[in-house]
Amino acid sequence: MKIAPTAGKVVYSGPHGNASCDTLHDTLSGALVDTETLLGTFPGGTTFDGVRFFNDALGAGTSIELGLRSVDDSTDMPGVLGTFDTATEGQKQQLLKPLYIKDNMKIIAKVKGGTASGEILATLDYRYTGIGDY
């Protein structure tokens, strides 16, 4: 039998399991194209599995690019968590191939396409397994 590299990994199972989610949000007011909002920070050792995104109608032609940036600003991954059309009120789900971060990363929402006003809310599905090989 072939043994996969993940076969020997520790399976974390706290009192409520290892799957977690966190909801980050902000209300934009006349945010211009390329305005960035820091929604939160996650520690190294986190694996992202998906995003549920909710928004008011932010304005014609607008979208929100949800990305990651290292806390020291040396690594930037715009849109890696998804780009969401926000011209009309809505909710979207973005499933992710497991995305492991080894360094502390900021969650950045960036306005694209036009001036944006209204609430954005992102619920991130993630697992924390600590620093190590993934």
Tell me the CATH number at 86. Answer: 2.60.120.200
| Mean of pLDDT values over 35-50 | 93
Give the pLDDT band (50/70/90) at residue 3.
low
pLDDT given for residue 42 in this prediction: 92
Residue 117 counted as domain residue:
yes
State the residue range of the domain holding 107. 33-128
Which carries the bigger pLDDT value, residue 8 or residue 55? Answer: 55
List, for residues 80-92, the tens digit of each pLDDT value.
999 999 999 999 9
Q: Considering the entire predicted model, what is its pTM?
A: 0.86
| Residue 108 contacts residue 69 (beta carbons within 8 Å) | yes
Residue 59 counted as domain residue:
yes
Give the sheet arrangement for strand 46-55, strand by strand: 19-31, 116-128, 46-55, 90-101
* The pLDDT of residue 26 is above 70: yes
Query: 3-class SS at 8?
Result: helix
pLDDT given for residue 10 in this prediction: 57
Number of other residues whose CB lies within 10 A of the CB of residue 54: 17
Q: How many domains does the chain have?
A: 1
Q: What gap in Å lies between CA 119 and CA 70, rounded to an integer? A: 25
Residue 3 counted as domain residue:
no
